[in-house]
Structure 1
Amino acid sequence: MSVTIHDVAARAGVSVATASRALSGQRGVRQENREKVLAAARDLRYEPNVVAAALRSRTTHTTGMVVPKIANPFFATLVEAVEKELQGGQRSLLLANSHYDPETEQQQVRALLDRRVDAMVLIPCHRERSREVMEAAAARVPVIQLDLRVDGFDGSWVGVDNEAGILRVVRHLVERGCRRLVFVGSEPTDSAAQARLDGYRRSAGESGSDVLLGDFSKEWGQCAAQRLLARAALPDGIVCGNDTIALGVLSALAEAGVRVPEDVRVTGFDDIPYAELAQPPLTTVRQPQDQIAAEAVRVLDARLAGTESAARRIAITPEFVERASG
């Protein structure tokens, strides 16, 4: 027969209500009684009924999170940062992957809502087509957009100033003598891709029209580099939309015998764990993921506590990281 909270209360010599408050960490319990309850729970090997507790408190102490592609090193690291922040508040993370497909994203969000998550952290996979599911989720629980955001959705967002990051990269390359720049990025289906493309075109001036667009993959970086190698003359600076693209570019250039940075300088964006291990180590823009995660969880906490209802938009300035490739 399983141990119940009534058994714990009897063992500790307190009321069931006091035992319940002590086990859930609520205030209003004398320290002496709290210690008795915790000791009794340990002695009896009491395991609380999480489902019943959730029904009583109307909270599951869980947060849902949907990312476009967990295999992307940047998203994987960001998930870890969010999970760490939530664990500090004794909450759990339920994670789902949209695979950059708005229909899959919608299914995953619905599944998490059906599990009665208290709030949601969403990295929307499409700047336009993700709007419907964002609005549906926000109608039920507090929602925050992380890194990417949806056009026309009046909700909270935390990420970096992508345009400022690209501006810093272009300025650095120009200061190093680069005059023939090219941008290798992703088609602007998400907000980061659009912002980085816009930032490049604004900061590169007259040369800002030299753009190759595909997706945020190493394979696209290799393909784009091969197109550049087929030209009569190589650019002297390649601004990549993210580090994964840059790794593909570096790979193709190395295979063709092109020296980096002597023949061409290459930069990335994100500072994923592999960036420093590239050959040569990648000059890039670092997104402060711990800070992004902390701000996002803080905004959600305020919404859950009812102390803040207005939408917040927090753009954090990224950090330029100079290494050997640029």
Structure 2
Amino acid sequence: MSAKLSDVAKLAEVSTATVSRVLNKSGYVSKKSREKVMLAVEELEYKPSKVASFLASRKLAFNIGIVAGKRLFRVLSDQSDQFYTIVLKGIEEFFAGNNMRGSLVPSNNFSEDYDGYLLIGGEITEEDIKKAKETKKPVVLIDQYLAGVKVDCVVSDGYDGAIYGMKKLISKGLKKIVNIHGPLSHFGFKDRFDGYISAMEGAGYLPKAYEYDEDNDNMSAIIDLLLSRYGLPDAVFGCNDTAAIRAMEELQARGIKIPEEVSILGFDDIVNSSATTPSLTTFKIFKHEMGVVGSRRLQSLLIGNEPRPTKISLFTEFVQRESTL
């Protein structure tokens, strides 16, 4: 195990603040104490954190542009979104402890005044990334991945979650499983959709999917079409909790019992998912961690650490509640 700053301080019989002053060459330290610190560093083979050293030498905070598409910028501005508001809190908490500050800006505002950018959400396009890169500043995507663009990103592993969820439903004897998803230009929806298709085809069952327009709420029309053309499904898999909850509401409004007649599975684990009747079985996305991990990755890029683009994928967690058998 590598030595820590506190180990150096203990061996040198000085405070950690004194060790920091010696290593950062800042402030007064007596010759005797300085020599004791350097001997302890050599004996323990202590290697200072590149991040810590950089931040200690920096007088001003990094100024970060937190960029969102038009719709997401609107809902984040009034904190009405149950997903990205938590992502944003993770970002803000990391910034507070790491000499960084951020401003929420719309996707048409790529000012060179920012030291770097966090681009969040499925509305982010290749054109947005191109504009951000033109500023020559580091860029990290959160909850969005665009194939072939090769830009740093942090996403949840929806494909793995969908595979796991379908296997759970199929193991209960459910075969007619319908997927209701958002726009497939959003990586999260596409990833979960692909997992659903793979699991259904792998089990020898026919996939059936419908696209949900959350802004115009076309769920009533989807359920009418589903029941008239496909019949009563065994289960509905919503690619996010909002779609799953709306599907459950529309099915219940037509006298269909959940989960006795149709099981409902969601994705995201937003706050409302545990308050539905019955409570929604879903997958927990670690939203706060996505914000923290994305911010940490941007920090590494800002100090020139590990510069090659990286795709970081966080696994989800299955949350069994009452809406599935």
Instruction: Note whether the superposition's TM-score is higher than 0.5.
Output: yes
Alignment partner of 1:133 is 2:142: no
The answer to whether 1:152 aligns with 2:165 is no
Rounded Cα–Cα distance in structure 2 between residues aligned with 1:85 and 1:131: 27
Shift of residue 215, structure 1, vs aligned partner: 3.2
Aligned to 1:224: 222
The corresponding residue for 1:199 is 195
Displacement of 1:144? 0.4
Distance in 1, matches of 2:215 and 2:315, equals 24
Paired residue for 1:42? none
The partner residue of 2:259 within 258, 261, 286 is 261
| Higher relative contact order, structure no. (Cα contacts within 8 Å, ≥ 6 residues apart) | 2
Q: How far 1:190 sits from its partner (Å)?
A: 1.7
Work out the CA distance in 2 between the residues paired with 1:203 and 1:89.
Answer: 42
User: Does residue 90 in structure 1 map to residue 99 in structure 2?
Assistant: yes
1:218 shift after superposition: 8.5
Is the 1:216–1:241 contact (alpha carbons within 8 Å) kept by the matching residues of 2? no
TM-superposed CA distance for 1:171, in Å, is: 0.9
Give me the whole-angstrom Cα distance separating, in 1, the residues matched to 2:225 and 2:210.
Answer: 9
Matching residue's letter, 2:254: A
Q: Tell me if structure 1 keeps the 8 A contact 2:177–2:207.
A: no
Give the secondary structure class of the aligned counterpart of 1:122: strand
Q: In structure 2, what is the equivalent of residue 322 of structure 1?
A: 320
Matched letter for residue 65 of structure 1: I
CA contact (8 A) 1:158 1:314 kept: yes
**Structure 1 residues 88 and 221, CA, compared in 2 at 3 Å: closer, same or farther?**
farther
Alignment RMSD (CA, Å): 2.5
**Paired residues for 1:241-252 under 5 Å:** 241-252=239-250
Name the amino acid aligned to 1:252.
E
Secondary structure at 2:217 match in 1: helix
1:315–1:176 Cα change, 3 Å: same
Q: Is 1:286–2:284 an aligned residue pair?
A: yes
TM-score normalized by the length of structure 2: 0.74
Which residues of 2 match residues 19-98 of structure 1 at below 5 A? 28-30=26-28, 61-68=62-69, 69=72, 70=76, 71-97=80-106
2:270: which partner in 1?
A: 272
Shift of residue 305, structure 1, vs aligned partner:
1.3
Pair 1:178 & 2:174 matched: yes
Q: Which amino acid aligns with 1:92?
A: R
Q: Which amino acid letter does the alignment assign opposite residue 275 of structure 1?
A: S
> How many angstroms apart in 1 are the aligned matches of 2:280 and 2:81?
17
Shift of 1:86: 1.2
* C-alpha separation in 1, matches of 2:121 and 2:252: 35
How many angstroms does 1:79 deviate by?
Answer: 1.2
Q: Give the direction of change, closer, same or farther, for the CA distance of 1:96–1:224 in structure 2 (3 Å limit).
A: farther
SS in structure 2 opposite 1:73? coil
Distance in 2 of aligned mates of 1:219 and 1:289: 24
SS in 1 for 2:205: helix
1:198 CA drift (Å) = 1.1
The structural deviation recorded for 1:67 is 2.6
Structure 1 partner of 2:46: none
CA distance in 2 between counterparts of 1:80 and 1:215 reads 27
Maintained 8 Å contact 1:221/1:247: no
Note the residue ranges of structure 1 that are not aligned, 5 or more in a row. 1-21, 32-56, 98-104
Does residue 314 of structure 2 align to residue 313 of structure 1? no
Identity within the alignment, %:
23
Within 2, Cα distance between the matches of 1:65 and 1:235? 41
> Equivalent residue of 1:306, what SS?
coil
1:124 deviates by 5.1
Alpha-carbon distance, 1:59 to partner: 5.7
Query: How far is the alpha carbon of 1:60 from its aligned partner?
Result: 5.1
Give the distance between the partners of 2:68 and 2:219, measured in 1 at CA.
22
Given that 2:122 and 2:143 are in contact with CA atoms closer than 8 Å, whether structure 1 keeps it comes out as no
What is the aligned partner in structure 1 of residue 47 from structure 2?
none
Change (3 A) 1:27 1:226: farther
Partner of 2:115: 118
Distance 1:218 1:324 in 2: 28
Paired residue type of 1:201: I
Question: In the alignment, which residue of structure 2 is the partner of 1:299?
Answer: 297
Post-superposition CA distance 1:79-117 (Å, at most 9, x none):
1221111112132221134xxxxxxx3x13x2xx24x12
Residue ranges of structure 2 left out of the alignment (5+ in a row): 1-20, 30-57
